[in-house]
Amino acid sequence: MPAAFLTTPRPPRRPCAPLLAPALALLMSMLVPGSGAAADAAPAGDAPAASPVAIAIHGGAGTISREAMTPEREARIRAALTEAARAGHAVLREGGTALDAVTAAITLLEDAPEFNAGRGAVLTSEGRVEMDASLMTGHDLEAGAVAGVRGIRHPILAARAVLEDSPHVMLVGRGAEDWARRAGLEFKDDDWFITPFRSEQLERLRSAEAGAARQDEAPWYSTVGAVALDAHGNLAAGTSTGGMSNKRFGRVGDSPIIGAGTYADNASCAVSATGHGEFFIRHVVAYRICAGMTLAGQGLAESADAVVNGLLTEVGGDGGVIALDARGRIAMPFNTPGMYRARIGVDGRLDVAIYGDE
Ligand code: ASP
């Protein structure tokens, strides 16, 4: 990216203590029960790294039931989650950054038509695809986001171009698309993004709205996201989405809002959210989980559970999060029947799950 694009100077990045962080993380993994590497638990290809590394991903939360799922669709979803988690983990095992791992996992999920991001994104009430994405790094609190973008094959790479090459945190619409074009990102025609599944979903919602059918379209938020801890002890989080099906054009949800759908801070945790975005924005969900740790002294699981199963459930905000702390501990609470999710923890073990009882 030519320097001429930078219209205002960037603030200096905070150093990420490259030497101290891995040593501390390793020490923590020895002190914290359950967070140490268990070599014999690692399936082939997911061997633990020397310093603890971990990744968690999601493909959205919602009314996901076995009855409404076909074996073929379930197999495709599990395969896509496995591939994305392994791709991110491979980056981490090779000493890559948490940002690279999150980006690697999300670009794969954006290409998988089963999920509501990139190809397969949901449609606006006008039948178009408008996408949002964001990324944040925990060692320097740098962030990049795009909202309401069209045609960008990988919105998460556009968010990354904003994070790395612009003096801004968020670009929307044409400005974001222009930035992505200048960064050399790939564009596709609208038709490339639209799957028959999403067109039918929009039709059902439109008829329900017009009173021609029962409003029986179950809320289903298949946004994608990833959180990662790298061998340098750094966290990152990212989220990418088409938003909510039948949304008003121009509507922006929580996914590109730093603090609502995405947050990362080495001092607490990295979070990516999925669910009814308006609730996640009002209650600043991702940041609130991190703040529970720094301000209220809660553990990761306690804080994430209090926000998702406590606060959000009380106010009627459906959804879930994936959260990861600097010790490699993972929490994935959701208050919907299911959430597409996968994790490779510090023990190197891969877990893929869909339903609430898994
Ligand atoms: N949170 C997203 C939004 O409201 C939807 C999702 O999670 O699928 O835009």
| Torsion angle defined by CA atoms of residues 34, 39, 43 and 48, in that order, rounded to the nearest 10 degrees | 80
Q: Is 239 an active-site residue? A: no
Q: Catalytic one among 223, 239, 262, 274?
A: 223
Q: Residue 180: which domain range?
A: 54-355
Q: Is residue 25 part of a domain?
A: no
State the distance from the centre of ligand 1 to the C-alpha of 48, rounded, in angstroms: 32
End-to-end CA distance of the chain, in Å?
45
Tell me the average pLDDT across 37-41.
32
pLDDT score for 197: 83
C-alpha–C-alpha distance, residues 69 and 338, integer Å = 12
Residue 296 lies in a domain: yes
CA distance 337 to 358: 11
Q: Ligand 1: does its nearest atom lie under 6 Å from the Cβ of 51?
A: no
Residue nearest ligand 1's atom 4 by CA: 277
Residue 3 has pLDDT above 50, yes or no: no
Neighbours of 140 (CB within 10 A): 17
Cβ neighbours for 179, distance < 8 A, ≥ 6 positions apart = 5, 146, 158, 161, 162, 165, 166, 171
Q: Which two tokens stand for residue 236?
A: 């990152």
Query: What is the Cα–Cα distance from 185 to 171, expressed in whole angstroms?
Result: 15
Is the predicted pLDDT of residue 5 greater than 50, yes or no?
A: no
Using CA of residue 333, residue 137, residue 241, residue 256, what is the dihedral sign?
Answer: positive
Contact (Cβ atoms closer than 8 angstroms) between residue 20 and residue 139: no
Give the range with max mean pLDDT: 21-35, 132-146, 187-201, 213-227. 132-146
Q: Confirm whether 28 is domain-assigned.
A: no
Q: Is 313 inside any structural domain?
A: yes
- Structural domains in the chain (count): 1
> Could you tell me the CATH number of the domain that includes residue 194?
3.60.20.30
Q: Is pLDDT at 32 greater than 60 in this prediction? A: no
Residue 73 lies in a domain: yes
Question: Closest Cα to atom 7, ligand 1: which residue?
Answer: 274
Residue 62 lies in a domain: yes
pLDDT score of 44 more than 70: no
Give the least confident one: 14-23, 52-61, 72-81, 344-353.
14-23
Q: Whose CA is nearest to atom 9 of ligand 1?
A: 243
**Best of 57, 241, 245 to mutate for ligand 1, by most ligand atoms within 8 A of CB?**
241
**pLDDT confidence of residue 68:** 82
Q: What pLDDT is attached to residue 36?
A: 30
Residue 7 domain-assigned?
no
- Is the model's pLDDT at 30 over the cut of 50? no
- The tokens describing 307, both together, are 């926000």
Residue 133 lies in a domain: yes
pLDDT in tens, 281-333: 999 999 999 999 999 999 999 999 999 999 999 999 999 999 999 999 999 99
**Torsion on CA atoms 28, 29, 35, 39, rounded to nearest 10:** 180
Ligand 1 atom nearest 242 alpha carbon: 9
Q: 268-294 pLDDT, tens per residue?
A: 999 999 999 999 999 999 999 999 999
pLDDT above 80: residue 37:
no
Residue holding tokens 């038709």? 191
List Cβ neighbours of 162 (8 Å cut-off, separation of 6 or more). Answer: 144, 145, 146, 168, 169, 170, 171, 176, 179
